[in-house]
Structure 1
Amino acid sequence: MPVRVIGMIGVAPPAGTALHVIGGGVSPGFLGEFAQAHEQAGFDLVLVGYYSSSAEGFAVAACAAAQTTRLGYVVAHRPGLVAPTLAARTIATFDALWGGRLAVHIIAGNSDEDMQRDGDFTPKEERYERAAEYLDVMRRAWTCAEPFDHNGRFYRVRNVFPDVRPVQRPYPELLFGGSSPGALAMGAQHCDTFAMFGEPLAETAERMAAFRRLAEGFGRPAPKFNISFRPIIGRTEGEAWDKARGILANLKGAPPHPRGQDQSGKRLVDLAARGDIHDERLWMPVAALSGGKGNTSCLVGTPEQVAEAMLKYYRMGVASFLMRGFDPLDDAKDYGRELIPRLKAGALAIDREATLAA
């Protein structure tokens, strides 16, 4: 299984040491440069995030797709703000226009405060139930061979049979993240890839095994897994650790993140309370400082050391990695010079070993 590398793009240059790339004004020139840098660095896809204050994700991805040739886009999407049939056509249209370069990250949880800014006052656990029905209707719209009706708790549609279908079959990949029972049940029933924040190897293995059992209970195919890290790399290990400490010092002077903590973030904060370093390279003080928000599990070392740390997760069955840095544009370029090539070459070597052993 070839390894896949996902980055993250935003629409405006961040100032200073950046914890987040969502927000700010819209700069088409910077967006194009950011996307092109990821394509040239060897990223396979980039995430376009979502907050109630951020630029609209499908428009951002379309603008970036027009300025790249190969790079794919993982667009974050909140079920419930539009009808599932409209979302199905929006996603299918993008996929058809841009040659199958789309995946969708489903966000049903997030903070109540951020949901309410978009007019959604539905309680979180109910949002997961609504999202499950939403995804059921959306998937049927992509795959139906004849018109269908749906009469559910949250949605009622009649005679649905869209003209536009996705290029990807049966439909673009659906990713999700979360730690609550509602999030996991929704994902196990309807999504393809479980996206996790970076946790120690043992905890990650436990989460993967539990989610496989859950998906199997719903009669779903074996799920795929993505894990997110902030690599901090240097020419030497000492240089990398000095860089990490400098990043932490800069972030301590930044304003706090305004959005609430979810259960996945709480897991990171709890892990950070157990110790700054896990499994030799997993560094958690930034996660503690941010309250677990913003993909803040760091791997620290030389490109070779960080790639080897990531390949330990690959051996466990994690075939997709989301990575971004604290200097987002320049870090993406740096990852492309040594880290991504080492990660992809190492994954191929592991695959060859497995083939020979079989």
Structure 2
Amino acid sequence: MPARIIGMIGTQQEGVAVHLIQGKISREWVRDFTRLHEQWNYDSVLVGYYASAAEGFAIALYAADHTERIQFLIAHRPGSVAPALAARQVVTFDQLTQGRMSLHIIAGTSDKDQASEGDFLPKDDRYRRAGEYLDVMRWIWTSDGPLNHHGEFYRVEGAFSDIKPYQQPYPSLFFGGSSGGALEMGAKHCDVFAIFGEPLAETRERVRDFRSRAAAFGRRVGFNMSLRPIIADTEGAAWDKANKLLADVEGKTGAAPQPTNASAERLLGYAARGDVHDERLWMGIARATGAPGNTSCLVGTPEQVSAAVLEYYRLGIHSFLLRGFENPSDTVAIGRELIPRIKAGALEIDRLAEAAE
């Protein structure tokens, strides 16, 4: 299976995403930054979800209209809109772009962020609601007739969509999370488990465990791993770059906040054991920031970092979200130095495995 590489264009100004000028979106940045990913052979870009930021479907559709082939992984929060409307939003985008999308299900971030959109459900309830939400959407996507549904969280009478997905049976569904509720929802409903970079031994067990959970529902799943490469011409220069970045982060953030979810707690647990794992996996930024998101770094030369990514590929992770800290320069460096090596290495791993059978 070819390795897939995902970048990020986001929906907030974080050095990776939408530039804001006095509250206005820079259309030029959205267009040019997405085109840059396409130029450097990224397969897809993540469009994030933030309660106070620009709306992701609109950002992605504008970017799609100014590119040719790159796909969009659009983060979507169940509960922010009704599932019948969301189902039509998704298939409209899927049809207009002729299949250039996947959906990343985010059932819950912080309670404070959820409350800002009027959602006060506890986190475990949000995962149960997400499962019901996806049931309703899938029915609308695949059914030839109207849906009547009376559930715990949703009630619809005669729900139907005249348009159906371009992709059959529907776009792939990503999800992330480490709590029991997240894993149950994902195993039952989603196609790709998105995880942050963790040590190899723990990643091997995580892949095995989640495959087992999905198999209990008669399902097979894929995996995506988020990593932040820090690369330079020499290993020493790469570590110097990483340490300079850490000093800058610590100078700006002060004491790290407490983790807000189970995934962050996992990363901070690895950071407590040591900043470096498996030679290349660096948890310094996770430790300094409280691991609020994608903070697992791989540090080294392009050859060393590519080899480290391919170790995860050997474990069954065939999709990687790679983004740097200084963009657009890091976007170009990943495209020039890492993507060709990772894609060629993955093909060679598959060739050798096929020859050995």
**Band of TM-score, shorter chain:** over 0.9
Q: Tell me whether 279-288 or 144-153 shows the greater mean CA deviation.
A: 144-153
Distance 1:207 1:125 in 2: 21
Aligned residues of 1:111 and 1:259 also touching (Cα < 8 A) = no
In structure 2, the residue matched to 1:153 is 152
Paired residue for 1:334? 333
Q: Following the alignment from structure 1 to structure 2, what is the Cα–Cα distance between the partners of residues 258 and 101?
A: 37
Shift of 1:58: 0.2
Task: Choose the corresponding residue for 1:234, options 227, 232, 235.
Answer: 232
Aligned length: 353
For residues 258 and 328 of structure 1, the distance between their equivalents in structure 2, rounded to whole angstroms, comes to 25
Q: Residue 251 of structure 2: which of 242, 250, 253 is its match?
A: 253
- Give me the whole-angstrom Cα distance separating, in 2, the residues matched to 1:38 and 1:143: 32
Give the aligned partner of residue 304 of structure 1. Answer: 303
Provide the residue aligned with 2:356 in structure 1.
357
Q: Which residue of structure 2 aligns with residue 269 of structure 1?
A: 268
Q: Distance in 2 between matches of 1:299 and 1:58?
A: 31
The residue aligned with 1:108 is 107
**Deviation per residue, 1:187-243 (Å, 9 max, x gap):** 0111000000000001111111111111111222x1100001000010111111111
Q: CA deviation at 1:22?
A: 7.1
1:94 is paired with a residue of what secondary structure? Answer: helix
What SS is found at the alignment partner of 1:69?
A: coil
The aligned counterpart of 1:191 is: 190
Q: 1:254: how far off?
A: 2.2
* Contact 1:282/1:298, CA 8 A, preserved across alignment: yes
Aligned Cα root-mean-square deviation (Å): 1.6
Distance 1:189 1:11 in 2: 29
Separation in 1, partners of 2:96, 2:247: 45
Q: Give percent identity, aligned residues only.
A: 57
1:149 is displaced (CA, Å) by 1.2
In the TM superposition, 1:77-226 aligns within 5 A as: 77-220=76-219, 222-226=220-224
Equivalent position SS for 2:99: coil
Greater than 6 Å deviation, 4+ residue runs: 256-259
Pick closer, same or farther for the CA change 1:289–1:197 going to 2, 3 Å: same
Give the deviation of 1:266 after TM superposition.
0.9
SS at match of 1:253: helix
Which range moved further: 130-139 or 259-268? 259-268
What do residues 304-336 of structure 1 show as CA deviations (whole Å, max 9, x unaligned)? 110100001101100000010001311011111
CA contact (8 A) 2:214 2:221 kept: yes
Encode CA deviations 1:60-87: one digit per residue, 9 max, x unaligned. 1011111111110011000011111110
The aligned residue for residue 7 of structure 2 is 7
Specify every segment of 5 or more residues in structure 1 that has no aligned partner in the other structure, as ranges: none
CA contact (8 A) 1:92 1:164 kept: yes
Normalising by the residue count of structure 2, what TM-score does the alignment of the two structures yield?
0.95
Residue 345 of structure 1 aligns to which amino acid in structure 2? A
Conservation of the 8 A alpha-carbon contact between 1:23 and 1:54: no
The residue identity in structure 2 corresponding to 1:148 is L
**Partner Cα distance (2:5, 2:264) in 1:** 22
| Change in CA separation of 1:21 and 1:293 when aligned onto 2, cut-off 3 Å | farther
Gaps of 5+ in 2: none
SS of residue paired to 1:32? helix
